[in-house]
Structure 1
Amino acid sequence: MFEETRRLESPTGASLAYRHQAASGAACGVLLICHGMVEHSGRYGDFAHSMGANGFHVYVHDHRGHGETTAPDAVRGRFAVRDGAAKALDDVWAMRNLATDAHPGLPVILFGHSMGGLIALNVASDHPEGFQGLAIWNSNFNQEVAGRLAQLVLHIEKALMGADVPSAILPRATFRSWGRSIPNWRTESDWLNSIPAEVDAYLADPLCGFDASISLWLDILRLTFRGPTVLGRLPRGLPIHLVGGEDDPATNKGREVLWLEDQFHRRGFQRVTSRIWPGTRHETLKEIVRREAMDDFVHWARAAVASQTE
């Protein structure tokens, strides 16, 4: 658990709520976390504690329209009235600058889960020298056909209802469909985790599972389609860490994580690591393999930052 929530006034006009875990002992790096859709930064306390105990200063903020972050143009479930995707990316860069100002000279790893992975790849590609490691967990960038159809549906909904109301179709086509694809499903959120207590905790959290606006869905798709087109801007020697769950319907059972790995390899990236965890669904950090997955990531992260000084 984090001890407190702090505030950063972003150049985008958002008042970003963020949490910080200081490194224990001598610090070796900074970890900047981007959380997923319709959740919040407070859910990353265990992960932050693990990374802090291994020498990383950890920062995780609530994205626009999520958690305790506020902005005049970002009610819950919306990045912004317009240019929401760009503003969400700029907020991450503001957090990166906060962290580097506080810890000058330390290498920075950018980590993103699910929607956060979409954001992380786009931010890193916009600032190719700004990060010394990139981790993308449980994200699906390979949505060309289904994604274009979803865009069409969302634009029709937007024309009929406006952009700032919840989509009637997308939650059914994604969350509900994924939940019901789980054998002997108990709730429509079972796609998140194989541990019932973790699913129940998510459902009981007032800052999780809220309705996403049509505009937020459209912004997410913009990031999805853009990511593979700009990743070539990244340094070919950048350490990249990809993770998926073998039973995660959101990533086609991990196949789309491996698709992203292939995109990196095709462009000549030399330091790409991937792992698809058996028996796990979407939230690896809260799954049955959480400790092993965290330990695995610590090993990778420490090697990534150590390579910056070689």
Structure 2
Amino acid sequence: MTPHEHPVQSCRDRHGVAVAYRLWRPADPWGLVVVAHGASERGGPDERFAQARAGAGLATAALDQRGHGRTAEASGGPGIVGPGGGPALLEDLALVRAEAEAALGGERPTFIFGHSLGSVIGLAALVAESRTLAGAVLCGFPVDLHGVAALGEALAEQAGQAGRAQPASDLFAPYAEAVPDRRTPYDWLSRDPAEVDRYLADPFCGDQHPLTWGYLLKVFALAAPAAKRLDTIACPVLVIAGDQDPAGAMGDYPRTLAEALVAAGVPCDLRLYPGARHELLNETNRDEVTADILAWLGRWR
């Protein structure tokens, strides 16, 4: 744990996996935000945005998802989903939400914030439980909604490698190549070199904590059926991304998601930030992004 990082708690799911999470508790919060992080990272570096949410009266629960952070040891190692398979990713998100709601006590609105791979998991969670949520923010959506089933089939062709970890820089190489004059393989994350260096130095991020083909296959197996059931989502959604994010096809994938949500009758707002890359909360315009998110969440207070 870094000097400014929030302490880690854990809860054990029904498969016996100890799920690590952090809970930020301001005095008398009016709402709760449950965070699902992206691939090859973890929930700990959410400190800055969690403190901003706390200042706005929102508690935050951020888990280390299976195969990531401090949960990876219990689920079988980096990039391994472990017992329960893909559905357990949703179960653990719901479990941490329940733990946080119980710790806070009382009744208050709960939101999901999903980033990147976490936004794909978050979309599946919305289809499963949106009637009990006040809203959701999906940030950096990294897949073509209409092609998610085909993507799953393509990943299935990698079945022979399903249990083998692959360095994140290999998986993300096409994103890196989209950034001219790049300094590192991860400049596509942010225009702020200090934030890129922070990511590279984190032992739970990037190549130090790689994914597996099997992990991606399980996540997109959740997303494919969810993409066909958007009309079951019963809460408002904010979709945000940078228009220079190669993971989101320079804004095309988030735009497609927002259009599909609106067509399904879901109240949805879309915000694309000019010049911004993948990690909006760690971008050079992060103060603008943070203010926009807090203002949107505050609409449902």
Give the deviation of 1:279 after TM superposition: 1.2
Q: Deviations over 1:43-70 (max 9, x none)?
A: 1000100001110111101001100115
Distance change (3 Å), C-alpha of 1:279 and 1:151: same
Structure 2 unmatched runs, 5+: none
CA–CA separation in structure 2 for the residues paired with 1:291 and 1:72 = 35
Q: What is the aligned counterpart of 2:19 among 16, 23, 38?
A: 16
Change (3 A) 1:58 1:149: closer
Instruction: Report the counterpart of residue 204 of structure 1 in structure 2.
Output: 201
Please give the secondary structure, in 2, of the residue aligned with 1:68.
helix
Instruction: Note the alpha carbon deviations across 1:75-105, whole angstroms, 9 max, x for none.
Output: 2111126x52100110001111112222321
For structure 1, the residue ranges without an aligned partner over 5 or more in a row are none
Tell me if 1:188 matches 2:188. no
The equivalent of 1:268 in structure 2 is 265
In structure 2, how many angstroms separate the alpha carbons of the residues matched to 1:183 and 1:283? 18
The answer to whether residue 276 in structure 2 is matched with residue 283 in structure 1 is: no
* CA deviation after TM superposition for structure 1 residue 145, in Å: 4.9
Alignment of 1:26-41 (within 5 A): 26-41=28-43
Runs of 4+ in structure 1 over 6 Å off: none
Q: Identify the residue that residue 134 of structure 2 maps to in structure 1.
A: 132
SS at match of 2:38: coil
Partner of 1:58: 60
- Contact persistence 1:16–1:62 (CA under 8 A): yes
Structure 1: which amino acid aligns with 2:175?
Answer: W
- Do residues 107 (structure 1) and 109 (structure 2) align? yes
Alignment of 1:27-176 (within 5 A): 27-70=29-72, 72-80=74-82, 83-102=84-103, 103-142=105-144, 144-145=146-147, 148=150, 151-152=153-154, 154-159=155-160, 161=161, 163-167=162-166, 172=170, 174-176=171-173
Q: Give the TM-score normalised by the residue count of structure 2.
A: 0.91
CA contact (8 A) 2:166 2:212 kept: yes
State the 1:200 CA deviation. 1.4
Q: Is 1:232–2:234 an aligned residue pair?
A: no
- CA–CA separation in structure 2 for the residues paired with 1:272 and 1:146: 20
**In the alignment, does 2:214 pair up with 1:215?**
yes
Distance (whole Å) between structure 1 residues aligned to residue 222 and residue 7 of structure 2: 30
State whether residues 32 and 108 of structure 2, in contact with CA within 8 Å, keep that contact through their aligned partners in structure 1. yes
For residues 224 and 167 of structure 1, do their structure 2 counterparts lie closer, same or farther at Cα, with a shift above 3 Å needed? farther
Q: Residues 188-234 of structure 1: CA distance to partner in whole angstroms, max 9, x if unpaired? A: 11111111121111111110012211211211322332331222211
**Displacement after TM superposition at 1:171 (Å):** 5.7
Between 221-230 and 283-292, the greater mean CA deviation after superposition: 221-230
Task: Give distance in 1, aligned partners of 2:187 and 2:80.
Answer: 24
Residue 13 of structure 1, CA deviation: 2.0
The percent of aligned pairs where both chains have the same amino acid is 27
Q: How many residues align?
A: 295
C-alpha distance 94-188 of structure 1, shift in aligned 2 (>3 A): same
- Tell me, in whole angstroms, the C-alpha distance in 2 between the residues paired with 1:150 and 1:185: 30
Aligned to 2:238: 241
- Measure how far apart 1:303 and its partner are: 1.0
**CA–CA distance in structure 1, aligned partners of residues 152 and 257 of structure 2:** 20
User: SS of the residue aligned with 2:119?
Assistant: helix
Moved more, 283-292 or 1-10: 1-10
The one-letter amino acid paired with 2:50 is: A
RMSD between aligned residues? 2.0
Residues 136-166 of structure 1: CA distance to partner in whole angstroms, max 9, x if unpaired?
00013415558735743x434323x4x2112
Separation (CA, whole Å) in 2 of partners of 1:284 and 1:256: 15
The 1:260/1:78 distance shift into structure 2, 3 A limit, reads same
TM-superposed deviation, 1:20 = 1.2
Among 286, 296, 299, the alignment partner of 1:300 is 296
Report the Cα offset of residue 179 of structure 1: 0.3
Match of 1:135, SS state, is: strand
- Give the structure-1-normalised TM-score: 0.89
CA distance in 1, matches of 2:294, 2:145: 30
